[in-house]
């Protein structure tokens, strides 16, 4: 093992521990803010793993998109929500927690067995391209052109949807309704809600 | 890379229908932006016109010689054309229904249609996607648009709950699906085209465990989309809480896209595991038929009943898929075409009823015949067709399905299908009886106060047209089913993966073997010869 | 182009001459440029703090720091010393872990971004292929640190300041990235070295600012907003929020914020010089000068002069923009938060997109001038 390989190995171990530890923290912390900050840690550590695999563009994009946009958005949502609600403790909650843990561990064991047993037909002889960004660009504009373009429709629609959900509606009638009368329900389903089953 | 050469290889003409829908979307959006709510007078008609143009273009593309486009990302064969037409038409009928509905709820139709049209684009691309990235992006376009439409009535807690439930379950199922796709990518050594993957996977003798896990994960993702039991839990709540036109689209357009994905992905990428996925889908079909039909009996809300009924209908459709013969696939596509009209018809009727009375309780339908015979007739015909009463379209659909399954030797499935159909007829007839038989004094309070029938208010005309169109199609499609038969047979015969495959023939021969023994059973190399 | 001086090779050669093995020499070399850069950035901050105080004083017809060293030049050092020796207060009911981590998260990405700032053809820490994109990615981590310190301070002003800072930082990152993208499109590369080299050859006429005037203005406005400089210092607007997310901080942690904001400002000024004003290039190309004076290209003295002139030119350009930023501080009033967001989303974003589109069009029609 030469110097470069040693450094890579040690960095991989550190990053792996960081990813797993932070991810466990995300799941196990009771305080949601800690979970959100640790999620950022998970993203950054994963970017580090990408970097170890010579995928530097993906690593930078991971930081830009996941840490810079998604995680900040999550934090915003958490910090802007100012509602305190004390939920009644669920009796025998440990059963749920235990079964969730059991299922997760079972899945983990299954997937680990699968990973070790499988012969991955990976061709290691392929050299990484000299200009990764240009290679990505060529792919996006040749064989992945259609999904790339469809993604623009997806983003446009997500944008419209976000505006629809977030905007403050000015409903006709709500201000003009006769005093004492309830205005006609707006932005609600025309069907009456069911009577709750007693 | 030579880009002028590339442009000629793309064969971009085949996505002309989708491009039409995208352009329609942009026009609707921009005119809504420029003219505000005044544009709501004409944008729905423009959107429908755009969808019909797309449908016309799809018809023109029938039987075209060169179907692969975008370097193999998209396949515009006849099968995909049928599915894309179903999705485009369901979207057009949904817009007919939603004009009045959205307007009465005080919401904006422009944005609603933009989201619906992008869901349509996603579904249409999904029907022809032949490549993992394309499949995932189009699936997400469809899904995210569906989440948004589900929560469109944003002041209604039921709508919020439905949207949140749908989003959370949908996101996790997408994640599982994506994990399955990534396994496929790894197992095939970095291939994303379905045919390349099938080639790289060989006959499935090595890495059986990983392959089966990939298969299960992929099926979990697909089953969520088609709401097969046990991946159906979201369906009743989402159907109850969503705006009814959205439910109509989800139950037809989105479901058709899910089936298109299932056929293409499973037959193209998993020919080696055909017995395994047939077994899984058999189980899903059995569970869906039983649970959907049995639980539907107990429902008091029309929307919830139709939700369970749509689960059951998906179970019937899956029969066509698991028999694995050409006739099976053809009957499945045929049933979906029929289902398009009868289910949308039923939803159009309950939308009309809800808009006039503000309720969707089944008990409130009592005595409707005395006040609104036309609505009663339309709803009865659609429900009876869903139940499979001759001579309506649904009967022929089920007949063809069961015949194909019987031919392939799936006797148990056919028997179960027949029994559950009888159960389903019970709850459909219950509604019809409620509407028709009750004496005037047994009318529900709602019906006693039934408003004067008027088609004049804004948006009622399109709804009327929608009810008429679906009614006529449902009544006539059965009698005139021969051209449709020819059409679907032709579309299926066109796809090499769906017939003539050695494994399919072998599978039919081995049908006698218990399906339980097949799971995880590695296929021998000698077996293949 | 002559390659200039390869410091790394010289250094390693010297070490191997002393009898060290090749690997160990490389190992010794590795931290040198990084430490040098951190040291340089810190000195740059001291200079800019001094400049800020002197220029502010001049703008208000005062004298400014005068007694600490000649012309008060040691005043920033004294400031720093004071902060180092101050008590480190962690407020009650705050979250001590996040409170400590926040300032570090704000400062580290900024220092890391110095990786890609070139002072000469071979005078940068790492000429990674990602180049300028790395800077954009790193600067997107900063809002997390701001939110963290704002949240953990257990103070409403700090929380509001943190939220404002993060919102501002996200909003202006997009026009910033769009402006950079236009440059990248013209240079056919993300690497800062190549971006400078594409501007070489025609002296002052070849600089990107002539081809990207709107891009430059866009970049400068967004960079000021990213650095939270007046007129965009909303997060710490003292009339409204005391000191924003810094309210509860003192001692060394406050010093980190202080340091971070100036390091960031110097970094932005350096990048303006690199992206739009030809980096280390002279207004008149040095080759032309050498030809005029009949000095051969491979003259050793010329190379040394070239390298030191390169550093000087980069710093001169950068400090010119620093001067502009300080001047702006005393000439432009602060915007309101809604004006700030409106400017970012409704004006700069469309302008950035249009600029990108026009650049793409020009690249196709005039490939000789726009790097087709």
Span C27-84, pLDDT tens digits: 777 788 788 888 888 888 888 888 888 888 888 888 888 888 788 888 888 888 888 8
Q: Given an 8 Å threshold on Cβ–Cβ distance, is B213 in contact with A186?
A: no
Q: Given an 8 Å threshold on Cβ–Cβ distance, is A63 in contact with C137?
A: yes
* Distance in angstroms (rounded) separating the CA atoms of residues C287 and C168: 44
CA distance A140 to chain B (A): 11
Q: Among A111, A160, A171, select the one facing B111 at the smallest CB separation.
A: A160
pLDDT at B499: 61
Residues in a beta bridge with B75: B68
pLDDT at A142: 82
pLDDT at B502: 43
Is B188 at the interface with chain A, CB within 8 A?
A: yes
Q: Among A40, A64, A80, select the one facing C136 at the smallest CB separation.
A: A64
Structure pTM? 0.87
Average per-residue pLDDT for chain A: 82
CB hemisphere CA count around B329 (13 angstroms): 30
Is A109 at the interface with chain C, CB within 8 A?
A: no
Is C27 at the interface with chain A, CB within 8 A?
A: yes
**Residue range C190-206: average pLDDT?**
81
Q: Which of B343, B351, B360 is nearest to B471 (CA)?
A: B343
Convert B147-198 into a string of H (helix), E (strand) and C (coil): HHHHCCCCCCHHHHHHHHHHHHHHHHHHHHHHHHHHHHHHHCCCCCEHHHHH
pLDDT at A172: 53
Is C138 at the interface with chain A, CB within 8 A?
A: yes
- A52 confidence band (pLDDT: 50, 70, 90): confident
Q: Given an 8 Å threshold on Cβ–Cβ distance, is C144 in contact with A56?
A: no
Assembly ipTM = 0.87
Most C CBs within 10 A among A64, A130, A152, hence the mutation to make, goes to A64
pLDDT at B510: 44
CA distance B155 to chain A (A): 5
Q: What does the block give as tokens for B272? A: 């080696």
pLDDT at C11: 75
pLDDT tens digits, residue range A54-107? 888 888 889 988 988 889 888 888 888 766 777 777 788 888 889 989 999 999
Q: Given an 8 Å threshold on Cβ–Cβ distance, is B138 in contact with A158?
A: no
Place of tokens 């039983």: B290
Q: Given an 8 Å threshold on Cβ–Cβ distance, is A132 in contact with C129?
A: yes
CA distance A68 to chain C (A): 4
Cis amide prior to B446 (ω within 30 degrees): no
CA-nearest residue to C156 within chain A is A79
For chain A positions 49-78, those within 8 Å of chain C (CB to CB) are 56-57, 60-61, 63-64, 67-69, 71-72, 75-76
The DSSP secondary structure of C221-275, one letter per residue, reads HHHHHHTT-TTS-GGG-HHHHTTGGGTT--HHHHHHHHHHHHHHHHHHHHHHHHH
Residues in chain A: 198
Is B520 at the interface with chain A, CB within 8 A?
A: no
C126 pLDDT above the threshold of 80: no
C368 pLDDT above the threshold of 60: yes
pLDDT at C247: 82
* Distance in angstroms (rounded) separating the CA atoms of residues B12 and A146: 10
Is C129 at the interface with chain A, CB within 8 A?
A: yes
Is A134 at the interface with chain C, CB within 8 A?
A: no
Q: Given an 8 Å threshold on Cβ–Cβ distance, is B243 in contact with A189?
A: yes
Q: Given an 8 Å threshold on Cβ–Cβ distance, is C163 in contact with A63?
A: no
Average per-residue pLDDT for chain C: 83
pLDDT at B528: 38
Q: Given an 8 Å threshold on Cβ–Cβ distance, is A171 in contact with B125?
A: no
* Distance in angstroms (rounded) separating the CA atoms of residues C284 and B274: 73
User: Is B239 within 8 Å of B255 (Cβ atoms)?
Assistant: no
A138 pLDDT above the threshold of 80: yes
Phi/psi-derived region of residue B379, left when phi > 0, alpha when psi is between -120 and 50, beta in every other case: alpha
* Distance in angstroms (rounded) separating the CA atoms of residues B155 and B106: 11
Q: Given an 8 Å threshold on Cβ–Cβ distance, is A157 in contact with B115?
A: yes
CA distance A183 to chain B (A): 12
CB hemisphere CA count around C49 (13 angstroms): 22
Residue C99 CB neighbour total at 10 angstroms? 21
pLDDT at B493: 81
Q: What does the block give as tokens for A9? A: 């190995």
Residues in a beta bridge with B74: B69, B129
pLDDT at B246: 92
| Residues C119-139 as b or e (16 or more Cβ within 10 Å = b) | bbbbbbbeebbbbbbbbbbbb
* Distance in angstroms (rounded) separating the CA atoms of residues B154 and B170: 19
Show the low-confidence residues of chain B (pLDDT under 50): 1, 500-529
Q: Given an 8 Å threshold on Cβ–Cβ distance, is B210 in contact with A191?
A: no
How far, CA to CA in Å, does A94 sit from each of A29, A101, A104, B160, C369? 16, 10, 15, 29, 69
Is C159 at the interface with chain A, CB within 8 A?
A: yes
**Residue range C273-297: average pLDDT?**
79
**Residue range A102-125: average pLDDT?**
85
């Amino acid at each position: 093992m030469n110097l470069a390989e040693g450094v890579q190995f040690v960095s991989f171990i550190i990053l792996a521990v960081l990813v797993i530890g932070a991810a466990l923290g995300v799941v196990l912390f009771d305080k949601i803010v800690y979970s959100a900050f640790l999620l950022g840690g998970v993203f950054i550590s994963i970017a580090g793993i990408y970097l170890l695999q010579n995928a530097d563009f993906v690593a930078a994009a991971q930081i830009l998109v996941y840490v810079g946009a998604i995680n900040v958005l999550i934090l915003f949502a958490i910090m802007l929500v100012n509602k305190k609600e004390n939920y009644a403790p669920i009796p025998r909650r440990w059963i749920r927690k235990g079964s969730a843990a059991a299922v997760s561990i079972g899945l983990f064991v299954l997937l680990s067995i699968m990973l070790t047993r499988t012969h991955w037909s990976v061709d290691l002889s392929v050299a990484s391209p000299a200009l990764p960004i240009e290679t990505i660009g060529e792919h996006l504009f040749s064989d992945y052109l259609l999904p790339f373009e469809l993604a623009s429709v997806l983003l446009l629609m997500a944008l419209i949807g976000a505006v629809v959900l977030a905007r403050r509606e000015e409903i006709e009638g709500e201000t003009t309704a006769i005093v004492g009368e309830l205005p006609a329900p707006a932005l609600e389903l025309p069907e009456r809600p069911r009577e709750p089953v007693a | 890379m030579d880009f002028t050469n590339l442009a000629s290889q793309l064969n971009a003409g085949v996505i002309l229908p989708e491009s039409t829908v995208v352009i329609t979307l942009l026009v609707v959006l921009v005119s809504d932006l420029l003219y505000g709510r005044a544009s709501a007078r004409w944008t729905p008609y423009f959107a429908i016109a755009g969808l019909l143009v797309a449908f016309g273009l799809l018809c023109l593309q029938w039987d075209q010689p060169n179907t692969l486009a975008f370097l193999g990302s998209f396949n515009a064969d006849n099968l995909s054309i049928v599915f894309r037409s179903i999705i485009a038409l369901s979207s057009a009928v949904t817009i007919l229904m939603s004009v009045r509905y959205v307007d009465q709820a005080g919401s904006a139709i422009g944005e609603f249609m933009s989201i619906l049209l992008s869901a349509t684009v996603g579904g249409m691309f999904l029907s022809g996607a032949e490549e993992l990235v394309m499949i995932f992006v189009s699936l997400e376009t469809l899904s995210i648009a569906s989440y948004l439409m589900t929560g469109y009535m944003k002041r209604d807690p039921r709508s919020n709950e439905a949207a949140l439930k749908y989003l959370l379950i949908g996101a996790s199922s997408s994640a599982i699906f994506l994990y399955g796709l990534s396994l496929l990518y790894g197992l095939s050594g970095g291939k994303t085209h379905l045919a390349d993957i099938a080639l790289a996977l060989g006959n499935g003798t090595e890495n059986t465990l990983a392959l089966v896990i990939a298969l299960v994960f992929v099926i979990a993702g697909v089953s969520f989309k088609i709401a097969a039991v046990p991946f159906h839990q979201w369906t009743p709540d989402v159907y109850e809480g969503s705006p009814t036109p959205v439910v109509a689209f989800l139950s037809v357009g989105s479901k058709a896209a899910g089936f298109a994905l299932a056929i293409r992905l499973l037959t193209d990428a998993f020919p080696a595991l055909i017995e395994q996925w047939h077994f899984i889908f058999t189980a899903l079909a059995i569970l869906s038929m039983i649970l959907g039909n049995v639980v539907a009996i107990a429902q008091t809300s029309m929307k919830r009943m139709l939700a369970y009924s749509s689960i059951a209908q998906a179970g019937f459709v899956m029969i066509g898929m698991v028999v694995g013969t050409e006739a099976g696939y053809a009957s499945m596509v045929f049933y979906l075409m029929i289902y398009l009209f009868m289910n949308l018809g039923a939803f159009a009727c309950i939308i009309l009823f809800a808009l006039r009375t503000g309720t969707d309780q089944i008990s409130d339908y009592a005595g409707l015949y005395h006040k609104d015979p036309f609505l009663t007739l339309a709803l009865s015909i659609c429900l009876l067709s869903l139940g499979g009463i001759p001579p309506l379209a649904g009967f022929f659909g089920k007949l063809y399905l069961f015949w194909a399954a019987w031919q392939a030797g799936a006797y148990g499935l056919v028997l179960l299908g027949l029994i559950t159909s009888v159960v389903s007829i019970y709850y459909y007839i219950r509604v019809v009886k409620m509407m028709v038989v009750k004496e005037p004094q047994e009318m529900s309070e709602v019906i006693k106060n039934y408003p004067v029938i008027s088609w004049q208010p804004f948006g009622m005309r399109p709804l009327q047209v929608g009810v008429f169109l679906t009614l006529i199609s449902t009544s006539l499609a059965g009698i005139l089913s021969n051209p449709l038969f020819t059409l679907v047979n032709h579309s299926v015969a066109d796809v090499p993966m769906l017939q003539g495959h050695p494994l399919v023939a072998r599978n039919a021969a081995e049908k006698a073997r218990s399906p339980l023994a097949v799971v995880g059973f590695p296929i021998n190399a000698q077996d293949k010869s | 182009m002559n390659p200039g001086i390869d410091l790394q090779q010289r250094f390693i050669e010297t070490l191997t001459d002393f009898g060290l093995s090749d690997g160990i020499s490389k190992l010794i070399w590795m931290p040198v440029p990084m430490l040098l850069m951190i040291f340089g950035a810190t000195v740059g901050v001291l200079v800019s703090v001094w400049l800020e105080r002197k220029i502010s004083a001049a703008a208000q017809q005062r004298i400014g720091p005068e007694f600490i060293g000649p012309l008060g030049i040691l005043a920033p050092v004294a400031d720093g010393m004071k902060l180092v020796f101050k008590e480190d207060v962690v407020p009650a009911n705050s979250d001590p872990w996040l409170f400590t981590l926040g300032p570090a998260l704000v400062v580290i990405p900024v220092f890391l971004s110095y990786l890609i700032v070139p002072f000469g053809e071979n005078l940068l820490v790492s000429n990674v292929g990602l180049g300028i994109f790395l800077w954009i990615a790193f600067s997107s981590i900063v809002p997390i640190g701001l939110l963290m310190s704002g949240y953990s301070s257990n103070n409403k002003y700090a929380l509001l300041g943190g939220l404002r800072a993060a919102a501002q930082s996200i909003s202006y990152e997009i026009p910033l990235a769009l402006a950079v993208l236009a440059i990248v499109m013209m240079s056919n590369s993300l690497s800062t070295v190549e971006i400078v080299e594409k501007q070489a050859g025609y002296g002052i006429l070849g600089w990107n600012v002539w081809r990207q005037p709107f891009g430059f203005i866009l970049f400068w406005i967004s960079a000021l907003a990213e650095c939270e400089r007046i007129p965009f210092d909303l997060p710490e607007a003292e009339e409204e929020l005391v000191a924003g997310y810094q309210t509860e901080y003192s001692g060394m942690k406050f010093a980190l914020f202080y340091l971070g904001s100036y390091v960031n400002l110097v970094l932005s000024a350096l990048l303006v010089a690199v992206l739009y004003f030809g980096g280390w290039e002279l207004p008149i190309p040095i080759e032309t000068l050498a030809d005029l004076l009949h000095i051969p290209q491979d003259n050793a003295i010329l190379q040394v002069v070239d390298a030191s002139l390169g550093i000087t030119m980069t710093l001169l350009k950068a400090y010119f923009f620093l001067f502009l930023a300080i001047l702006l501080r005393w000439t432009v009033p602060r915007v309101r938060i809604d004006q700030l967001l409106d400017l970012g989303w409704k004006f700069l974003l469309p302008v950035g997109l249009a600029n990108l589109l026009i650049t793409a069009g020009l690249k196709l029609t005039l490939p000789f001038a726009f790097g087709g």
